[in-house]
């Protein structure tokens, strides 16, 4: 059992660490893709089935990225012990639980043949309506300092109290559990949601307990403190526990089977349309185009479109893992280096992203047509995402004038990047991982 749990746990640990380098909804796509591929590898699924699972997990996990939590973490650690310590931890449990709960539920939906495209379309509409209702009931009004939500997990005394969205996600998750459990009799989806809620709540809050303790107690001494990124410790702890919980749920519910169910696929023309409708707002917001600024202030509703396409489409699967995921990470990296750090001309950064994405399209198309093995997509995802964090980290260190020596300038960021490399190296042994579970019989399948 430990071997089965470890691969998804380490995958999501790395994925969540990388997610912290990019942030937002698009950054949260990374751990979703990695845990989806890890679960498919453990199940021995072929590439087309593994890509579908990973694509669904990619967009399901991205939905939680709309939630703000920086000020919630501040409630825990701005003072130590803080008078709002337990309230902050409760807030992180609420947010972490719904984040991973939604991911778990859709992992089970992706592994089932119960859901048809038309049904999925109306399901997404229903979840969107529940989301709006939940936000208005639990997260509004938000008009500081005069009117604030009845339950608020950010800092009301901040100069800019953050807008919260967790209530909408909880309404959507509860609605999804009722629909899958009561109407579709799909107990695995409900069970995976509950495993996700448990793992997300424990992982996020426990990760912050470690961060607050390490930041204030400096357990390894003042000299070592500058080399430890305790925020990254929190993120990667969250990812590890979340991945472990999803893996246990995947095993206990019997989803780790050798032959996944065939999903119902919509007409191929809808793939082209929905991919285009997803790309336009995503690229516009990532590039911070003026006309898209209002979109950037809203939760990424277009991620629901990606989730729908991944469940009901065919081209969406290699597109999500081979193109969309590298695109959002590369565009974030280019924007950071050109706009924020001003190390390169914006035109050069844009040209680099365009060339990179075209290469990704060619590779993803060829691999999808030749049906390369799941391990190829696994290696691609791990190393492209790890490599892009290095592309974001190294130029400011090497090119920005600084009187300190090169080694000292690395600091905790360098330690984080080396940790990413080590984890990527461990996760690059998929043949060994698969061999390690071949002697484990699939769990009994329960409806």
The pLDDT tens digits for 345-380 are: 999 999 999 999 999 999 999 999 999 999 999 999
What is residue 258's predicted lDDT score, i.e. its pLDDT?
Answer: 57
What is residue 285's predicted lDDT score, i.e. its pLDDT?
Answer: 80
Distance CA 418, CA 437 (A): 28
Torsion of CA 15, 18, 22, 24, to 10 degrees: 30
Angstrom distances, CA of residue 284 to CA of 24, 111, 350: 14, 32, 13
Euclidean distance between the first and the last CA atom of the chain, given in angstroms as a whole number = 22
The pLDDT tens digits for 393-431 are: 999 998 888 877 777 788 999 999 999 999 999 999 876
The pLDDT tens digits for 33-53 are: 999 999 999 998 999 999 999
Angstrom distances, CA of residue 325 to CA of 23, 79, 174, 364: 13, 37, 28, 12
| Angle between helix 85-110 and helix 166-178 axes, rounded to 10 deg | 40
Top-confidence residue, 259 or 424: 424
441: pLDDT strictly greater than 60: no
Q: What residue has token string 């969309």? A: 324
Distance CA 384, CA 386 (A): 6
Average pLDDT, the chain: 92
**Are 88 and 82 contacting, i.e. CB atoms less than 8 angstroms apart?**
yes
442: pLDDT strictly greater than 50: no
443: pLDDT strictly greater than 50: no
Residues 6+ apart with CB under 8 A from 114: 184, 186
Torsion of CA 133, 139, 141, 142, to 10 degrees: -140
Nearest by Cα to 243 from 69, 17, 34: 34
267: pLDDT strictly greater than 60: yes
**The pTM is what?**
0.94
Q: Is 236 exposed, middle or buried (0-12, 13-18, 19+ CB in 10 A)?
A: buried
Lowest mean pLDDT of 106-110, 268-272, 299-303, 330-334, name the range: 299-303
Task: Provide the 10 A C-beta neighbour count for residue 97.
Answer: 27
**Are 65 and 169 contacting, i.e. CB atoms less than 8 angstroms apart?**
no
pLDDT, mean of residues 181-190: 96
What is residue 431's predicted lDDT score, i.e. its pLDDT?
Answer: 63
Distance CA 265, CA 117 (A): 7
């Amino acid at each position: 059992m430990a071997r089965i749990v470890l691969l998804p746990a380490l995958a999501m640990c790395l994925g969540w660490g990388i997610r912290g380098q990019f942030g937002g909804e698009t950054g949260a796509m990374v751990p979703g893709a990695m845990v989806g591929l890890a679960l498919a590898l453990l199940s021995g699924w072929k590439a087309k089935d593994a890509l579908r699972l990973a694509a669904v997990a990619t967009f399901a996990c991205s939905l939680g990225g709309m939630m703000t939590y920086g000020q919630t973490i501040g409630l825990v650690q701005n003072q130590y012990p803080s008078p709002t310590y337990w309230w902050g931890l409760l807030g992180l449990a609420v947010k972490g639980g719904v984040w991973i709960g939604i991911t778990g539920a859709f992992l089970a939906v992706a592994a089932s043949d119960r859901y048809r495209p038309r049904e999925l379309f109306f399901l997404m509409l229903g979840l969107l309506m529940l989301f709006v209702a939940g936000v208005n009931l639990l997260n509004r009004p938000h008009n500081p300092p005069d009117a604030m939500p009845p339950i608020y997990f950010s800092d009301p005394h901040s100069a800019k109290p953050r807008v919260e969205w967790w209530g909408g996600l909880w309404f959507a998750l509860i609605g999804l559990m009722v629909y899958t459990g009561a109407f579709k009799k799909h107990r695995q989806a409900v069970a995976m949601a509950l495993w996700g809620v448990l793992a997300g709540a424990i992982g996020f809050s426990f990760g912050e307990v470690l961060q607050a303790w390490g930041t204030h107690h400096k357990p390894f001494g003042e000299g070592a403190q500058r080399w430890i990124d305790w925020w990254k410790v929190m993120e990667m702890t969250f990812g590890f526990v979340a991945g472990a919980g999803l893996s246990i749920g995947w095993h206990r519910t019997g989803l780790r089977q050798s032959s996944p169910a065939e999903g119902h696929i919509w007409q191929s023309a809808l793939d082209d349309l929905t991919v285009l409708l997803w790309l336009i707002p995503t690229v516009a917001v990532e590039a911070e185009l003026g006309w898209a600024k209002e979109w950037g202030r809203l939760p990424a509703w277009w991620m629901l479109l990606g989730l729908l396409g991944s469940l009901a489409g065919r081209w969406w699967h290699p597109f999500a893992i081979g193109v969309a995921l590298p695109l959002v990470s590369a565009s974030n990296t280019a924007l950071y280096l050109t706009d924020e750090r001003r190390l390169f001309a914006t035109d050069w950064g844009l040209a680099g992203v365009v060339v990179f994405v075209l290469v990704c399209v060619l590779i993803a198309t060829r691999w999808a047509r030749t049906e390369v093995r799941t391990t190829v997509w696994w290696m691609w995802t791990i190393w492209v995402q790890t490599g892009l964090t290095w592309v974001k980290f190294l130029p400011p260190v090497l090119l920005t004038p600084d009187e300190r020596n090169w080694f000292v300038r690395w600091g905790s960021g360098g330690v984080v990047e080396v940790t990413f490399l080590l984890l990527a190296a461990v996760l690059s042994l998929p043949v060994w991982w698969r061999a390690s579970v071949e002697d484990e019989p699939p769990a009994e399948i329960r409806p």
